[in-house]
Amino acid sequence: MKIIYAADIPSSFFAPRSFTGSVRETVQALIDDVRKNGDKALCAYAKRFDKIDFSAAVFAACRSGRAAETSGFSRTVKAGEAVKAVSPFEIPRSSLKECEKVLKKKSGDLYDALCRSRDFALAFARKQKDFFYDFETELAPGLITGQKIIPAARAGLYVPAGSFPLLSSVVMTSCPARAAGCSSLILCTPPRVHPDEKDAPTVKRAWADEGILAAASICGIDRVFAVGGAQAVAAMAYGTESIPRCDIIAGPGNKYVAEAKRLVSGDVGIDMIAGPTEVFIIADGSARADWIAADLLAQAEHDADAQAVFATPSKRLAKKVSAEVEKQLASLATRNTACESIKRHGLIIITKSLEEAAAIANRKAPEHLELAMDKGSARDKLVQKLHNYGSLFIGHTAAEVLGDYSAGLNHTLPTSGSARFTGGLSVRHFLKTVTTLRVGESAESANRIDGVEKALNTAAVMAHAEGLAAHEKAARIRLNDSKADTVRLS
């Protein structure tokens, strides 16, 4: 890895890292198509991008829909929700359950790991939820203000499925939504051909990666649709004939998915726009070079644009970590990707002190920040100095990989410097903090008017100053009644 001194860090190191390229026009056209043509557009994109022809599935869904109508069957939906009785893209819950059973039988260790990951993530999210609560407070006699915490009704989750489908993303997106109290969780993931239809020219049923389907069952996802890419984001944002419109969309994806989330934001809530992953490790002489190298490579193997950075005041440790990275790369199964990432973006920074390393980290605002130091006052002081990061991992054993999978923390975190102003995906993304007001209902009736009159007078004066005559009248008409002792406040 390249080693430099802190004084030689280029300004570009602190600049936002964006690798989306010029895809906005392409993605906007796709979104517009899905809004206009619904399921028809989704079928076309599945054929174009995923090489899967859904025409037979559409025919089967339409036929099943007609049969459902004649038999009096209809799917239970909420008022105003337009959803077909049968969706060509929906994977039945019975299939999800079957995938879960197969996983448990064939890969018990993975099944147990997913269950444990779910349990920890759900427990942590529920603990977070405890700190969002309703309250009312009487700011002045008769002036009662309040806060209510309301979950989003329907959460849309996106889980990509490349060479290594991200099973953990099912856990990380669904658990905070479930803890928040969302009444419906739907998940979109790229389509796959069912094993029984490998040689068929057109598929008769929707299917997806079986590991993702098993994870969806383990996490209690309500509905799963075999729709991938930016078109899935568009479908969840605006709804189609068979995919219901969602209130918030969460989950990772490629640059097209990221751009789609950016473009639909405002029409639907989103978690964040995530860029390439990154880790920043601060260590002193007590750290193990092989552990640090392993953690650097754990981020570098994600993709060539990932960034792994190590900062230390110890020149000896810096050289040992650099050598250890090369040593571990030689036997790493994902060395091609990791090597390219280290070559493009990897960096070891020699600082004058640990405090300088902390200052650099605060300016960088990394997604993951590790503090590889022994327990003690020096480490505690450094923790207090650090304030810009997605997640902070304190101590030698607190490896970032635990945050990825098995410590309850959410691994969907801010990247590209956005940790300066936001945190990672959590229960708060699926909650609305709204406010309430009651007036003239104080328990002490003799004093209940005083605070209300002052509030009405304040509103009238400020409305007049802003030239809003109707606002002023709306306040004074109540104020006059209050003074006449004819209180009609509620």
Annotated catalytic sites, by residue? 367-368
Neighbours of 49 (CB within 10 A): 16
- Alpha-carbon distance 275 to 367, whole Å? 10
Cβ atoms of residues 212 and 176 within 8 Å: no
| Beta bridge partner(s), residue 391 | 368
Cβ atoms of residues 207 and 91 within 8 Å: yes
Q: φ, ψ for residue 408 (rounded to 5)?
A: 90, -25
Neighbours of 103 (CB within 10 A): 21
Q: φ, ψ for residue 350 (rounded to 5)?
A: -95, 120
β-sheet with 431-439: strand ranges across: 135-140, 143-151, 431-439
- Alpha-carbon distance 43 to 59, whole Å? 12
